């Protein structure tokens, strides 16, 4: 993507009061790994990565949102590094396509209905 083009999507990773808190029984969020992946693959210009405060429901936890110009997909139960790596893979695919990629089956099965008071 050339300088000055707009991002085609954003990935919001919830890192609020519950998501990623081991003491609350939720798996850790591999923030440094995600940031390194985004930087190493120069994804930020195409797919923004943001770590945000509580997105709303807390249960299920370890939430993420994929926001595109047309839709917001809510994901939950990102339970391990592999699940977060799937987000990186999705961002790479989107960058290659120049538009938001379809979710693969592994990410799609983590989709939840939008929380009523969510972002």
Least Å from the CB of residue 4 to ligand FES: 33
The first and second tokens of residue 25, run together, are 């029984």
Name which of residues 56 to 85 contact ligand FES (CB under 6 A): 56-58, 61, 63
- Binds ligand FES by CB under 6 A, chosen from 9, 12, 13, 55: 55
Closest CA to 80 of 27, 17, 23, 11: 27
CA 28/CA 15 separation, integer angstroms: 9
Segment contacting ligand FES (CB under 6 A): 4-12, 53-61, 80-88, 90-98? 53-61
Burial class (CB in 10 A: 0-12, 13-18, 19+), 64: buried
Q: Rule CB under 6 A: say whether 114 interacts with ligand FES.
A: no
Segment contacting ligand FES (CB under 6 A): 2-10, 36-44, 50-58, 96-104? 50-58
Cα–chain center distance at 24: 21
Residue ranges binding ligand FES (CB under 6 A): 14, 16-19, 54-58, 61, 63
């Amino acid at each position: 993507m050339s300088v000055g083009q707009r991002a085609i999507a954003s990935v919001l990773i919830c890192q609020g009061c519950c998501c990623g808190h081991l003491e609350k029984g939720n798996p850790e969020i591999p923030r440094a790994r995600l940031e390194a992946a985004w930087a190493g693959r120069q994804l930020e210009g195409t797919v923004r990565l943001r770590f945000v405060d509580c997105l709303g429901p807390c249960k299920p936890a370890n939430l993420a949102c994929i926001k595109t110009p047309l839709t917001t997909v809510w994901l939950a139960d990102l339970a391990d590094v592999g699940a977060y790596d799937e987000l990186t893979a999705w961002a790479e695919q989107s960058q290659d396509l120049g538009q938001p990629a379809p979710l693969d089956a592994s990410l799609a099965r983590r989709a939840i209905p939008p929380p009523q008071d969510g972002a």
